[in-house]
Amino acid sequence: MAPSKNILLLIADDLGREQMSCYGAEVDITPNLDRLAAAGTQFDYAFTSTASCSGSRTVVYTGTHTHENGNYGLCHGKNGFQTFSNVETAPLLFNNLGYKTGILGKIHVGPDSIYPWQVREESESRNVAAIADRAEAFFRSTKEEEKPFFLTVGFVDPHRQLQTRGGFGNVDGNYDPRLKDRIFSPEEINVPSFLSDIRQVRQEFAEYYRSIYRMDQGIGLILDALERENLADDTLVLFISDNGPPFLNSKTTLFEPGIRLPFLLRAPGTSTPGGRNPQLVSYIDILPTFLDWAGASDKPSDPPPAGAPKRLGRSVLPVLNCAAPAPGWDRVFGSHTFHEITNYWPTRFMRDRRYKYHRNVCWKLDFPFAMDLYASLSWEGMRNSGSAAADGGRPAMVGPRPLRNYICRPPEELFDLEADPLELDNLAGKEEHAGPLAEMRAALEAWQRQTGDLWLWRDGAPLMRYLSSNYAREGLRIPDRFDFDADRPATDAAPSVPLLG
């Protein structure tokens, strides 16, 4: 029998938590994920750092935010963002621990030298049965080699099928006889509250559900293979999604549907079956959790790579079975800068149990569209949902949000999630909420300093570069304001940023 303390990481692509039965979907769509949830712990407040595929995965694999690890956006083709060479990754660390490491399916991070999986079978196939076969072959090989394993399976589902409008791989994705197809009618769809209930949204969601149903079968086949190989009792299983649904108000945004995600963790001998966990956890906590499970210290290598970012996440195992909020697990942070390289819109967020704060760094830019979202039928329907001025000028809407408010956002946003879960009523600038705004702004900026975030700006200039130079000592003072004011460029009347010791 293979040694204990194996790890199986399952990553869906663009799956929202509301589209899973165990998280409240009205349609019975994810029976196998529901089975995993019933056998382990379901986290209700799990957050990725960024709602973009490559960036989110690097947060998982490195335990650092995108502005720390260099994957500011997507990594493929001419987008070209890559993880910095001095960042330690999960496959590197577990190779050093004597594990057999592997990844199947979607990878979407680079370069290969920084992610040295021993078994690397990249595939864009949606044949989840074939992927499960490869997973079982990997399980068998680790038993033969008598090594613990760390296997990642990256599903392509339920990502949109690129180069199609409204497609989710359903035409050619169900070609294995072991897979059942389920066709959903637009009428049975439960349209999420963040989207408009229009024909095009229902049409696309019907195809989206069909893709989710296929992916869920792949989960079941892999979990069954783990049982057949007598490895289930020795294997931590974590299921997550990289970001929320591929629709507006979700993917590429830091609104709740884009970053508050499914997180199902089964740790044999540790997790209480069917438990619900209320801690606010971040994807930077995943790598420390894996290392803790393996009995390894979550410290950089000795000596650490020069300039390597410090991992700030924590293992969730000590609070895995806490049914009530535990001290210190009450806030998360996030960092989004690019999706595609042409989708530049840097923003940072902080969330606690009640409030959410967004700092939109380049807020004067229009909020950009990922091309697959721009090409979607749902966006076409929403942008044409308004009426002409002659008809009363009803504005086009993106779900409950006026389209203008989606495209044009202010430098700061503060939302009371208890009263406003859809993040529609910006409280920044309202006197009665000045206290929470000041506290969260200060906490976010302290986190930006701690993580060396180059997008901590004052007067339109990068404050971190200023503080790490001799400029301040030689008399330069940066006005303490977010943006450069071309109409009032003088510095005399503006307070300046103090030099930190």
Q: Which of 98-102, 155-159, 307-311, 365-369 has the lowest mean pLDDT?
A: 307-311
When pLDDT is averaged across residues 319-326 and rounded to a whole number, the result is 95
pTM score: 0.96
Cis peptide before 300 (omega within 30 of 0): no
Q: 408 catalytic, yes or no?
A: no
When pLDDT is averaged across residues 401-425 and rounded to a whole number, the result is 97
Q: How many residues does the chain have?
A: 501
pLDDT at 495: 72
**Domain segments of the chain as ranges:** 6-318, 350-461, 462-501
pLDDT at 501: 38
Cβ–Cβ < 8 Å for 491, 479: yes
The CATH number of 6-318 is 3.40.720.10
Amino acid making up residue 281: V
d(CA 60, CA 51): 13
CA distances from 449 to 25, 56, 67, 201, 443 (A): 39, 21, 12, 41, 10
| Percent of the residues in the chain that have a pLDDT greater than 70, as a whole number | 96
pLDDT at 104: 98
The active-site residue, picked from 53, 322, 362, 408, is 53
Per residue in 182-214, pLDDT (tens digit) is 999 999 999 999 999 999 999 999 999 999 999
When pLDDT is averaged across residues 365-385 and rounded to a whole number, the result is 96
Cβ–Cβ < 8 Å for 32, 261: no
Per residue in 417-471, pLDDT (tens digit) is 999 999 999 999 999 999 999 999 999 999 999 999 999 999 999 998 888 888 8
Per residue in 136-156, pLDDT (tens digit) is 999 999 999 999 999 999 999
Amino acid making up residue 371: M
| Percent of the residues in the chain that have a pLDDT greater than 90, as a whole number | 84
Per residue in 230-239, pLDDT (tens digit) is 999 999 999 9
d(CA 491, CA 496): 8
When pLDDT is averaged across residues 254-273 and rounded to a whole number, the result is 95
Q: Which of 160-169, 346-355, 367-376, 461-470 has the lowest mean pLDDT?
A: 461-470
